[in-house]
Amino acid sequence: MTSSPPGAFTRDIPFSDADFRAIAQLAQQRFGLSLAESKKPLVYSRLSRRLKSRQVGSFTDYLTLLERSEEEAERLELISALTTNVTSFFREKHHFDTLTQRLAEGLAERASSGQRVRIWSAGCSSGQEPYSIAMTVLEAVPEAARKDLRILATDIDPKIVHKARDGVYSAEDVAGIPAPMRGKWTKATDASGKTYRVTQALKDLITFNELNLMVEWPFRGPFDAIFCRNVAIYFDQETQRRLWQRFSAMLNPDGLLFIGHSERVTGQALKTLTGFGITSYRKARTNVPPALQ
């Protein structure tokens, strides 16, 4: 543990090591989050705001409150407080270049001929990731909305899913969209040009839903591509290994998995997923180990 010297930060609500461990255990069990001891000051600073807003005087009382069945909204506030929603349009652009290439190599043709194509943005935050996917898809398959091509976008945090569904972003946010696409797929909400709304054509391709990746998923896929980037980084190693395995099982043969720049697929999933490029993986076509294909 990196223990802070006494008085390194002041706490107006007592926060013992036992309180921290209890919060960390709850976060691990419910959301798969792994909170290192070094996160203690951050956890305090974020959660003490929740205690104040709920007028709860101690972390013990807050933990008791979180156990109540009617406190689902507070449990979701907890995960909002413990994770970050940082995201951007076309983040790690090479993943979108790979998707463009895959579309050109047959996926677009499959969609155009009416076959089922599915893409999942798992941990979509405020929507920049699925909208970037939708722009990439519509550049390759302009008629996608009339075909059986759909994007599923999910996140555990209901507030962020609401924002994603809304699709309104600041001028700074949309500056990350390559210029020709920006004019085509976003429109200023008023004459000030301070905020932009993504077009209905993008929204028509995407279904937004709340989903905790730790629970059973209410769909069977299969998907042709899964983006789960900068999400598993919060999970412990065992939870990550299980997640990669579950994603692999959800992918079509030749399906793609894109993960965050500091993440790596580990464990059993490597029997079916082959790495290529930066943080991109492809599902094997058969059960034959990738090395023998």
The catalytically annotated residue of 19, 102, 150, 155 is 155
For residue 206, what are the β-bridge partners? 151
- Inter-axis angle of helices 72-82 and 40-53, nearest 10: 140
Q: Does 156 bind ligand SAM (CB under 6 A)?
A: yes
Residue 89 zone, left/alpha/beta (φ > 0; ψ -120 to 50; rest): beta
Closest separation in Å from C-beta 200 to ligand SAM: 23
53 vs 187: CA distance, rounded Å = 37
Query: Which residue has the closest beta carbon to ligand SAM?
Result: 87
Closest separation in Å from C-beta 212 to ligand SAM: 5
| Residue 155 among the catalytic residues | yes
Q: List the one residue from 27, 35, 39, 87 that touches ligand SAM (CB under 6 A).
A: 87
Alpha helices in the chain (DSSP H): 17-31, 40-53, 59-67, 72-82, 93-102, 108-112, 128-140, 158-166, 171-174, 179-185, 200-205, 237-250
Q: Does 263 bind ligand SAM (CB under 6 A)?
A: no
Query: Taking contact as CB under 6 A, which single stretch among the options 67-75, 82-90, 182-190, 268-276 is the one that binds ligand SAM?
Result: 82-90
Residues tagged in the binding site annotation: 85, 87, 91, 129, 155, 212-213, 229-230
Q: List the one residue from 123, 130, 167, 255 that touches ligand SAM (CB under 6 A).
A: 123
Dihedral angle computed from the Cα positions of residues 159, 165, 166 and 170, in that order, rounded to the nearest 10 degrees: 80
Q: Does 157 bind ligand SAM (CB under 6 A)?
A: yes
Q: Does 27 bind ligand SAM (CB under 6 A)?
A: no
Closest separation in Å from C-beta 210 to ligand SAM: 9
Count of other CB atoms within 10 angstroms of residue 289: 12
| Residue 204 among the catalytic residues | no
H or E element in which residue 258 lies: strand 251-259
Of 95, 157, 170, 101, nearest to 124 by C-alpha is: 157
Cβ closest to ligand SAM, residue 135 vs residue 231: 231
CB 263 within 8 A of CB 275: no
Closest separation in Å from C-beta 35 to ligand SAM: 12
Q: List the one residue from 19, 83, 251, 257 that touches ligand SAM (CB under 6 A).
A: 83
What is the side-by-side strand order in the sheet with 195-198?
Answer: 168-170, 195-198, 186-188
Q: Token digits for 91?
A: 């983040």
Residues tagged in the binding site annotation for S-adenosyl-L-methionine: 85, 87, 91, 129, 155, 212-213, 229-230
**Residues tagged active-site:** 46, 155
The binding site for ligand SAM (CB under 6 A) comprises: 31-32, 83-87, 91, 123, 125, 129, 155-157, 160, 212-214, 229-231, 234, 260
